[in-house]
Amino acid sequence: MGDYANLFWGILFGSIGFGYFLYGKKQKSVIPFVSGIGLMGLPYVVDNNAIMIGLAVVLMLLPKFIAI
């Protein structure tokens, strides 16, 4: 475990991603569903905090701008 900031951001974005995942599953909407999966998996793939925050913001804003 490198630092506590990485753990904090991982828990925060994983929780938000879980909410997006449940919302997308319940509404049968693809974009929030995939965005939620991406947010939950992001802390496992990205180790740099700045990059993780940037990608997470993009994934969180994705359902607002793309509607299918």
Number of structural domains in the chain: 1
C-alpha–C-alpha distance, residues 28 and 30, integer Å: 6
C-alpha–C-alpha distance, residues 14 and 66, integer Å: 21
Which pLDDT band holds residue 3 (cuts at 50, 70, 90)? confident
pLDDT score of 1 more than 80:
no
Contacts for 1 with CB less than 8 Å, ≥ 6 apart: 7
Tens-place pLDDT, residues 4-27: 989 999 999 999 999 999 999 999
Question: Where in the sequence is the domain holding 26, given as residue range(s)?
Answer: 4-65
Contacts for 66 with CB less than 8 Å, ≥ 6 apart: 31
Q: What is the pLDDT of residue 67?
A: 77
How many C-beta atoms surround the C-beta of residue 34 within 10 A? 16
